[in-house]
Structure 1
Amino acid sequence: MTRLLFSLALLLLAGPAAADTTGPTHGIAMHGDLRLPPGFAALPYVNPAAPKGGTIRQAVTGSFDTLNPHIVKGVPALGLGLTFESLLTRSWDEPFSLYGLLAESLEVADDRSAVTFRINPKARWHDGTPVTADDVLFSLAVQRAHGTPNRRLFYAKVTTAEAPDPRTVRFAFAANPDGTIDREMPLLMGLMPIHSKAWWGDRPFDRTTLEPIPGSGPYRVASVDPGRRITYERVPDYWGRDLPIRLGQFNADRLDYVYYRDDSVALEAFKAGEGDVRREIDPAKWATGYDGPALRDGRILREELPHRRPDFARGLIFNTRRPLFADVRVRRALGMATDFAWMGRTLFHGVLARTASYYPNSELAARGLPEGEELRVLAAFGDRLPPELFTRPFALPQSDGSGPAGSRGNLREALRLLAEAGWRVRDGRLTDSGGRPFAFEILLADPSEERIALEFARSLDRLGIAASVRAVDSAQFQARLERFDFDMTLRWWISSLSPGNEQLYYYGSEAAGQEGSRNLAGIRDPVVDAIARSIAEATTRADLVARVRALDRVLSWGHYMVPLFHSPVDRLAHWTRLKRPETTPLYGPLIETWWVEDGR
């Protein structure tokens, strides 16, 4: 077949000169070596002999209005990742290692300025047609033009995309302004979701749709009740079922997600047998909400499974696009009013840890004073960072746990900071120099979060601040988040053990102006940009950890959120007919490796 050259939406710049490669390989690690050798039998955290059959049901909260999870618009249904595949896929027992999936092998330039993928000849779409290089190039084009902001950010670095033959695709990448190469790009291209060019045809990729989209994955959509229920069926002739990277997974014949508006109702549905497994993030429900005949007679099991991944960096996030929260002294002051020790004991039964990092529960969290490579990274921006960042460890305000009245010392310090920022208490209310009151709204999607927000609002009232709490439905909440139409919201960021380009999507200045990005706080800081950008350039694990800790320290001292709590364990409840492998991977339990006993 003649050489195919795929031009992207804009004229592509000339790619870098061909670099030396190490030859075809079965995978790639972001740093260091792959743990699994060529020809490995199966992943270490699966049961390769797990039986197939049965149904796994989950009672979940919220709603959905699209079956395309790769665009900004809409709220996608849960489980769609099981219908789509990428050229490579992760081992969840390594920080960031990818192994061949749609691609049977890859060749990477020694400097990572280019990558070539060789597509597995067995790879098939659900209609039986082969996955080709043309599909890969199409997927790049449509996601570069219409995909989520993070993907558009990543894929903009591709300077050349070409297909020498129907089973081979090559990407080359632009150098950074300083001449360095983003070493994460070969992995990010390996994780790009692949769509069928033939199926999309004239269909608009950038619109929500409830028409099932055929993929190449182990499941396909069987039925849809918009916003209420989605059911997937296992593809019996799935092309990759015998791949070592797939053995022991996707064991249930059907997956059923039933949506409820309220999580308490979803919990009752699970207890009544309308769900088979449930992840619990609410310690209060974990402590008391599962009591009932099924738990007492052993038909429901509750398990706490430790994990070693960064947990959610969850907090009440300030929208610094609002002038009210533009001053760091104001943001810091608002984090001092609440007795979080009391809240943790009263609302969460004392089983959660207060979050003091953007990478909690991991080696990536900043600790003590900066030293070594981390200090070198931070010292380059010394004149633009708060001096105390170098002289004392970041620490959250300490409260005595006595109750809602809070710590008098913290309240005094908060009022001092607010006064420095131009706010004064007049007739019991905090006002600016023009007499305008300090008032704002906390936007929520989940009614169960109201107790946290209301307690926070009550504590602010002692400073003369009027904070109202508003919970909206999931569609309205998502639309307002995408437009950054909120003052404060209860949300989170989540990172892997190998953060990279997504950190610019979370915290970068460019993302702050992109609707739909995850830079909810509206952070625009050149120091954050520079450090976040350098993370993907790290050539060793030690350098990556140091740079992530530096970013963590800068973000923490920026007080972009009022941190809440996190857990070092995953709490899962399940009916005993569900079984799981003995080994739990680094990132925690994976439901796709579980199976239904006797296929029932």
Structure 2
Amino acid sequence: MRRAASRSHSHTIARTRPFRQAGALALGVLIVAAGATLARGESHGEMTKGEAIIKSHGFNYYGELDYPPGFERMAYVNPDAPKGGTFAIDASGTFDSMNPYSRKGRAGALSSMMYESLLDPNAPADEYGSQYCLLCESLEYDEGKTWVIFHMRKDAKFSDGTPVTAHDVVFSHELLLEQGLPSYARAVSQRITGAEVIDDYTVKFTFAEDIPRRSLIDQAGGVSVWSKKWFEETGARLDEPRMETSPGSGPYVIDSYDINRRITYKRNPEYWGKDLPINTGRHNYDEIRVEYFADETAAFEAFKAGEYTFREETNSKQWATGYNFPAVDKGHVKLESIPDGNPPTNVGFVFNLGREVLQDKRVREALALGYNFEWTNESLQFGLFEQRHSFFQDTVQEAKGLPEGRELEILKSLGDLVPEAVLTEPARMAHSSSPTRVLDRGNLRAAMKLLDEAGWAVGSDGVRRNDAGETLDIVIPINSSGSPTLESMVQTYVQNLQQMGVRAEMQKVDPSQYTLRQRERDYDILFSGYRTFVGAGTGLYQLYGSENADVSLFNPAGLASPLVDALIQTALEAEETETETAALTALDRVLRHEFFMAPAYYKADNWLAYFDMYRHPEEMPPFAVGQMDFWWADAEREAELKAAGALR
């Protein structure tokens, strides 16, 4: 199989690619979003400044935790799941670092998997917005949530056998502020004002006054914890690409890597937390392996040949027509669609608002009309997708029709910040197009009128220019290792833009250059997306807030709107779910009005293809597939597949 170019290094270190879990956002990178129903825990009679001190085994902002103190396991796991076997996935492109927190280079897949935090961000998968103690055994905080104290487990250890202490927690927090992403450091430093070691196994975080209480405790408890001793002895930096990794405290450690070919993680037989109730029925594989390939085509051919064993399919053409090979016919490979209980990722054609030409909303609206979802879905995606309209698609926060009730009250309370159209016009919907013609004539006429109004007239050569004689140039970079279907979709979009008189160009760039261009916002339009939320959290500021718009990697448009800021603040200050929901609905309405993205498609299910050696619980939790978390391998069936020559 055609693989990514190798430097023929083979070492003993590993890393992993993050996997989807119960609505949790990337900890240590994006401020964690509190879910729609966060819980309080057990309230005790102790008082501080007239407020009760709440002590608990987990955290949820609004109500009670579903799992009580002393719970035996998560309800959805198989407590008798056997340990053993190998789980193998693919990755496209290359990697030149095993440090997932570096600002440069491309990190190897799953490299953050080795590190744990005080609260577990990946469980439970059946309760949105709750987190339970992992490195800590309990936490306590005042009713006003001005501080939190974590009491750590004294038996927690890094993979090198050294203890995980409060000193490591504070060190990790401060390291992220000093060397982490600027948008993260800026946002967190304004919210967490102090991190204090009380003793070796007790750490206290203090929060700023006069800010919303959301995403403070779970942010403090969600930071990956690294070994202070290792960083001080090696002199390594968090923001530099490197192949050496610090010891983690998680269930897996890096076993080996072969640059641009393979990364292998193995279970740590000395993992300190294997007997914790929160880990029962989880982390079941002996080995997790990532096989690298030059592109998606090579990766799929390798799967057919049994070079890796699990594939989460995102290519609709492949899902519809590609799985007719012998391994499927013989029952060696199983195909399964599992419903996704999370809101869909907000993908689409994102406009770089830092480009002067794209600051005119009429230009953005015109360019968006070049995307034909209906034709793309029928001709390229086999009718398997639905059109996305909302940033909270298919949730109670999705804005519909005209604002009314509590949502209308919130919008009116913001006065002149709110444009009249937001109050008097229905929530913006994605445009419709002809499913039979790639270029919808009606949309083309509407787009050309908008461009004329914006001052981009068509010349005798068919090219649009402004009064200064400048041409309307649009560049859309795509990752050369991406799917052929996405390439075809972008190419047809570019062709439609060219029909409008736009000098549009699709540029295929290698994975490293593509990553760099994303970081530096070196694009006019990018097929990209925004992470999803169901509840309010301070991570909304990094996604949509003005404060970090110039540096946040999670805001690829660079959106900066005082109205959006005000609605985020309103949602964060909500003291009950009705106000929070109404504020987020208003936020959805305004984000759609701002129109910084032409929304694309979404699907409601996870498409999975895997060799029939993996098993999962019969009753799946709603918020995670959990293939690397709570699935397990059937050793007998694996042996049968190997004997049949299905696996390499």
User: How does the TM-score come out when normalised to structure 1?
Assistant: 0.93
2-structure distance, mates of 1:474, 1:419: 37
- Cα offset for 1:125? 0.8
The corresponding residue for 1:476 is 513
**1:406 equivalent among 422, 436, 440:** 440
Instruction: Report if aligned partners of 1:105, 1:119 keep a CA contact under 8 Å in 2.
Output: yes
- Cα offset for 1:19? 6.9
**1:364 equivalent among 394, 397, 403:** 397
Are 1:432 and 2:469 counterparts? Answer: no
Unmatched runs of 5 consecutive residues or more in structure 2: 1-47, 639-648
- Cα offset for 1:369? 2.2
The corresponding residue for 2:538 is 501
2-structure distance, mates of 1:494, 1:487: 20
**2:630 equivalent among 572, 583, 593:** 593
2-structure distance, mates of 1:344, 1:185: 41
- What CA RMSD, in Å, does the superposition of the two structures yield over aligned residues? 1.8
**1:322 equivalent among 355, 359, 366:** 355
- The SS at the match of 2:411 is helix
**CA deviation string 1:506-551 (max 9, x = no partner):** 222232221x622110112111122224433333333332222222
Q: Residues 128-167 of structure 1 correspond to what in structure 2 (within 5 A)?
A: 128-156=161-189, 157-167=191-201
- Cα offset for 1:245? 1.2
The corresponding residue for 2:116 is 85
Instruction: Report if aligned partners of 2:546, 2:561 keep a CA contact under 8 Å in 1.
Output: yes
Which residue identity is paired with 1:49? D
Q: Residues 93-108 of structure 1 correspond to what in structure 2 (within 5 A)?
A: 93-108=126-141
Say if 1:76 and 1:371 are closer, same or farther in 2 by CA, change over 3 A. Answer: farther
Q: Residues 259-278 of structure 1 correspond to what in structure 2 (within 5 A)?
A: 259-278=292-311
Instruction: Report if aligned partners of 2:385, 2:601 keep a CA contact under 8 Å in 1.
Output: yes
Which ranges of 4 or more aligned residues in structure 1 deviate by more than 4 Å?
A: none
Which residue identity is paired with 2:95? F
Are 1:223 and 2:247 counterparts? Answer: no
**CA deviation string 1:276-311 (max 9, x = no partner):** 111111111100112100111111111111122111
The corresponding residue for 1:192 is 223
Unmatched runs of 5 consecutive residues or more in structure 1: 1-16
1-structure distance, mates of 2:587, 2:287: 42
Which residue identity is paired with 1:277? F
The corresponding residue for 1:13 is none
- Cα offset for 1:447? 5.1
1-structure distance, mates of 2:622, 2:142: 29
2-structure distance, mates of 1:496, 1:78: 24
Which residue identity is paired with 2:568? A
Instruction: Report if aligned partners of 1:64, 1:76 keep a CA contact under 8 Å in 2.
Output: yes
1-structure distance, mates of 2:49, 2:163: 29
Please, which moves more after superposition, 371-380 or 244-253? 371-380
**2:476 equivalent among 412, 419, 442:** 442
Which residue identity is paired with 2:544? Y
1-structure distance, mates of 2:606, 2:182: 30
Are 1:351 and 2:384 counterparts? Answer: yes
1-structure distance, mates of 2:515, 2:432: 34
Instruction: Report if aligned partners of 1:114, 1:173 keep a CA contact under 8 Å in 2.
Output: yes
Say if 1:513 and 1:130 are closer, same or farther in 2 by CA, change over 3 A. Answer: same
Please, which moves more after superposition, 359-368 or 548-557? 359-368
- Cα offset for 1:251? 0.6
Across the two proteins, how many residue pairs are aligned to each other? 579
- The SS at the match of 2:246 is coil
User: How does the TM-score come out when normalised to structure 2?
Assistant: 0.86
Instruction: Report if aligned partners of 1:439, 1:465 keep a CA contact under 8 Å in 2.
Output: yes
Instruction: Report if aligned partners of 1:83, 1:215 keep a CA contact under 8 Å in 2.
Output: yes
**1:235 equivalent among 249, 254, 268:** 268
Are 1:548 and 2:588 counterparts? Answer: no
Q: Residues 278-289 of structure 1 correspond to what in structure 2 (within 5 A)?
A: 278-289=311-322
**CA deviation string 1:264-287 (max 9, x = no partner):** 111111111011111111111100
Are 1:73 and 2:109 counterparts? Answer: no
- Cα offset for 1:504? 1.3
- Cα offset for 1:150? 4.5
Are 1:173 and 2:210 counterparts? Answer: no
2-structure distance, mates of 1:253, 1:361: 38
Instruction: Report if aligned partners of 1:210, 1:226 keep a CA contact under 8 Å in 2.
Output: no
Instruction: Report if aligned partners of 1:58, 1:276 keep a CA contact under 8 Å in 2.
Output: yes
Are 1:124 and 2:132 counterparts? Answer: no
2-structure distance, mates of 1:245, 1:539: 30
**1:522 equivalent among 543, 558, 581:** 558
Please, which moves more after superposition, 533-542 or 140-149? 533-542
2-structure distance, mates of 1:542, 1:228: 51
- The SS at the match of 2:51 is coil
2-structure distance, mates of 1:21, 1:144: 31
